[in-house]
Amino acid sequence: MRSCRLGLLAACVAVGISVLPWSARAQSPERAPRSSGFWWSVSAAAAGARLTCDICERTRDGGPAVEAAIGGYAGAGVRVGVEGGGWTFKDEDFREKIYTAGVVAEVHPRPGSGFHFIGGLGWSGYRANDIDPDPEDTGFSYDAIRLRVGLGWDFPMNASWTVGNRVTVDASSLGTLHDEGAPIANSVGLSVVRFAVYLRYR
């Protein structure tokens, strides 16, 4: 059931990836790389998340994710900024969430090309609880430093707006998983794989 949900989300994103960028590219030719000014972006993704530890459930849960980022250009084809986002998964009366925040850099290795690398460092916070918990029920929680790597492809729509798609992997480790505030597992890892479409200004 989970894999079906993830598959549906992935299919939606795949449609977005295949339709939006091509229509955008049809409208806009490759352009010269920016080297100054600010930018912001929003994205939607199908994402799969999984905790890793001795007692952790081995299933990767798939759910929707959103992100927003803002920053400036550090050089030709080099964007840096801060980002924040969220992911969620619901299984019957139980919901998992992941919150993220951090700094991000996107580097176009070939000026003028839409292809770029993505890297980042930040925080991931995992929260999971019953949808209607008891008032004293704080559920599961996990907080850790997170590393992000990924690949993206810009499809400029005009001089200011760009759409694109990207794949990113967030990896966290050495966190402690808590349940009701008490530690239940140490050296816990968290990985999130995102297939996203995004819209960026400038």
Partner 1 sequence: MSRSFVRNEPVGACGRWGAVLIVVATGACAEDDGFRGEVPEYVGDAVAFGIWSPSSTDTCTSAIHDQYSTIGPDGYRYPTWHPAVDPATGCTFGHEHGRDPAGSELLYEVGPIPFGYANQHLQAGGFGAPRNEDHVGHKVEWENDIQMDGGGGGNVVSIECDVLVKLHQGTHSPDAFTNNMHEVAYHIRCSDGTGFSATVLTPIGAAGELVVECDRDVHIDAGTANPPISPDGGGRRGIPASTCVEESVLNPEDGRARFDNALHESWEISVSLRTEGGHRLVSFDPYFQVRDPSRYFDIATGALARPIDLCYVPGIQGEDRCEALGSDSVGWNDPRSPFKGVRRFVDINGNRIANSNGPTIWYTDALGHHGRPEPFPGGIRQWVAKRDNEGLDLHGPTIGRNRSYDAPGVRAPN
State yes or no: residue 32 binds partner 1 (CB under 8 A). no
Q: Pick between residue 1 and residue 32 the one whose CB is nearest to partner 1.
A: 1
H helix or E strand, kind and range, residue 10: helix 2-27
Closest CA to 77 of 166, 154, 170: 154
CB of 175 to partner 1, least distance (A): 13
Shortest distance in whole angstroms from residue 10 CB to partner 1:
20
Compute the half-sphere exposure of residue 78: CA atoms within 13 Å on the CB side of its CA: 5
Q: Which is nearer to partner 1, 30 or 93 (CB)?
A: 93
Binding mask 57-96 for partner 1 (x = CB under 8 A): xxx-x---------------------------x-xxxx-x
Radius of gyration of the chain from its Cα atoms, rounded to whole angstroms: 18
- Decide whether 17 or 53 has the Cβ nearer to partner 1: 53
Which of 80, 128, 193, 196 is the binder for partner 1 (CB under 8 A)? 128
- Cα separation values, 7 from 39, 62, 67, 151, 196, Å: 32, 8, 20, 21, 14
Sites for partner 1 among residues 164-183 (CB under 8 A): 177-183
For residue 55, state whether it binds partner 1 (rule: CB under 8 A): yes
Question: What does the alpha-carbon distance between residue 27 and residue 48 come to, in Å, rounded to a whole number?
Answer: 33
Question: CA–CA separation, 168 vs 100, rounded Å?
Answer: 13
Q: Does 185 bind partner 1 (CB under 8 A)?
A: yes
Nearest residue (CB) to partner 1, 80 versus 188: 188
- Quote the Cα angle for 76-80-81, to 5°: 150
- Is residue 143 a contact point for partner 1 (CB under 8 A)? no
Dmax (CA) for the chain in angstroms is 57
* Site residues, partner 1 (CB under 8 A): 51, 54-59, 61, 89, 91-94, 96, 128-129, 139-140, 177-185
